[in-house]
Amino acid sequence: MKMPLPKNQKIFWISLFGFSSILYMVVSMNKFKPAVVPIFPPPESEMSELCGHNNFSSLSELPTVYVITPTYPRREQVAELTRLGQTLLLAKNIHWIIAEDSSFCSPMVSGLLKRLQIPYTHLVSPQPLMYKKAKLKYNPRGVSSRRAGLHWVLENSQKGVVYFGDDDNTYDIRLFQQISRTKTISMFPVGFIGTQGVSTPIVEGGKVVGFSDDWFAQRKFPVDMAGFAINVEFLRRRNPKADVAMPYKAGYEEDFFLQNLHIKLEDIEPMASHCTEILVWHTKTVKEKKSDLIVDNDERSQESNLQKLLNFVLFNGMGEIDNPHGKRMKTCYDLHQCKTGKNT
């Protein structure tokens, strides 16, 4: 027959169980709780490196627009940079600054820039490790690259216009012609922003008097990164350290940056026919995982183009080919109308 525990022992074990549960909850919450990190990091936490630079001669008489493009390795990267690069090639008055969130210079990016022969600067500027480790709900991706690009402009240029052009957006080449005339800071509508579908300055009598955006969030300047351009001389006058004025705070990069330039409404030049047209769209490519691909070892497959094509896929970051258990490329010869079937 089992003897019941004395009352004081019951209390002890219940208390111990309760304390252990609370301790477990505290430890678990701390484990998954995002770390508190500064939005303006110490200088030693950031680094950038020059991968390449070329000032191909431009036929345009317009002032140079320095397009700063953050990018990072992924399957769609080569397609998006190719699309943007060919748009910039048509614009003519461009110096393209590509800054990679990576610790090494991508041969694919270097090759693309040389092939397009646009005046360019190629940088690597990995996001500081503290933000990658912090488990933030929203990662401030692209900030390290924009800061590195701005630093290069301030170190190497006295005139021109700075514009932040993400690699997945879509641009009308008239935008670059118009913003090249920016004397202070120009602003213009951006399409496909939030459920409202557009973000724009509000213009009355040729002057910016406010903003319309899907997400105000108490921002003084509720604008998209693609919705403004800044004259380099004006940038220097307002903040000689503008390259460190953009915060690592997702959603507030534009607002804090512009506030650190001490922008007033009367400084803003409305572009795109007084903000009645859209010349840039915040498009997004559907992202998929890279495929692990292999080619059959049979003679016919090896003598075809497939292996060389896979080498191209690997070089451009579109897939992997080193996994012996990867997905075998499907083949169908001589118009046999093959069934799809499963493929390992």
Confidence of residue 17 (pLDDT cuts 50, 70, 90): low
pLDDT in tens, 301-318: 788 888 888 888 889 988
Phi, psi of 171 (to 5 degrees): -125, 140
Cα separation, 263 vs 250, in Å, equals: 21
Closest CA to 251 of 224, 227, 212: 224
Residue 95 tokens, joined: 């110096």
Catalytic residue among 254, 266, 269, 303, which? 254
Please name the residues in contact with 13: beta carbons below 8 A apart, sequence gap of 6 or more.
5
Global confidence as pTM: 0.85
Task: Classify each residue of 293-313 as buried b or exposed e, where b means 16 or more C-beta atoms within 10 Å of its C-beta.
Answer: bbbeeeeebeeeebeeebeeb
Average pLDDT (266-271) is 98
Residue 232 tokens, joined: 């380099």
Strand partners, 69: 98
**Does the annotation count 49 as an active-site position?**
no
| Residue count (the chain) | 344
CB 269 within 8 A of CB 182: yes
Cα separation, 48 vs 123, in Å, equals: 7
| Higher per-residue confidence, 255 vs 15 | 255
* Range in 16-25, 92-101, 189-198, 232-241 the model is least confident about: 16-25
Residue 249 tokens, joined: 């705070």
pLDDT in tens, 75-122: 999 999 999 999 999 998 999 999 999 999 999 999 999 999 999 999
CB 60 within 8 A of CB 93: yes
CB 163 within 8 A of CB 66: yes
Vertex 263, ends 122 and 240: CA angle to 5°?
Answer: 50
